[in-house]
Every structure is written in C-alpha cells, then in structure tokens.
Amino acid sequence: MKAKAPPASVDAYIREFPEETRRILQRIRKTIRAAAPKATEAIKYGIPAYVLGGNLVYFAGYKNHVAIYPAPRGAPGFIKELAQYKGGKGTVQFPLDQPIPFDLIRRIVNFRIHTSR
C-alpha cells in the first residue's frame, strides 16, 4: 500500500476534514496568525506549522479532537489549565465535543514567541 502524500498546503490539509472540524481548524489558524503575524505558514510532518526564527507551533485535526504542539504543560501559568486536557508532555488535545479555548491557544502561541528565541 502506498503512503498518502502530505497535503500541499494548510488549505489542502483543512479541506480533508468534515465541515464542523474545518471551521474549528480555520479558527485555530486565524488565532495563530493573529498572535504571530510574522510567522511563516508551512506543512511539516504532514500538519500545519508556523515558523518564526524556528518552529513556533503546529496544529492538527483528528476524529475526536484537535491538537496544538508544543504545549507548555510545565510552564507556570499553564500547568493547572492544561491539566484538564489529554495529551503528551508537549501536546494538548482539545475534544471536538467541548468548546475550543481559542484564548488559551493564543496565549500558548504568545508564550512560544517569547520563549523559543
């Protein structure tokens, strides 16, 4: 079986999802772009990525959740808030059946801008 080619663009990536998930992914994209307007948009590891002097943040869609990478799970100001969400050491998963915390996503991007340089 031939491996699926990565999407050619963030628009192509988002188009692969059902309508409701597309709306959420578009809003995540808009949130990231507003928080990091100088970041370059790309596809890396098959998912949307934002680069600003290095890899800044990624997002991805799944059947039951959307995810942000990397997530500052151990950073003061995020520990308690991110504890309510599943994910690994550097990821956070937001269930699609719950409101997506776009302000939290914005704060994660701002944190990454100020700590990844």
38, with CB counted inside 10 A (0-12, 13-18, 19+), is exposed
Render the burial of 51-89: b for 16+ CB within 10 Å, e for the rest. Answer: ebeebbbbbbbeeebbbbbbbbbeeeebeeebeebebee
Whether residue 38 is predicted with pLDDT greater than 80 in this model: the reply is yes
User: Locate tokens 């991805």: which residue?
Assistant: 60
Across 85-110, average pLDDT: 96
User: Is it the case that residue 1 has pLDDT exceeding 90?
Assistant: no
> What fold does the segment set 10-115 form as a domain?
Aspartate Aminotransferase, domain 1 (3.90.1150)
Q: 67: pLDDT confidence band, cut at 50, 70 and 90?
A: very high
Q: What is the DSSP letter of 102?
A: H
The model's confidence at residue 117, banded by pLDDT at 50, 70 and 90, is low
Contact partners, residue 11, CB within 8 Å, separation at least 6: none
Measure the CA–CA gap between 29 and 36, rounded to whole angstroms.
Answer: 10
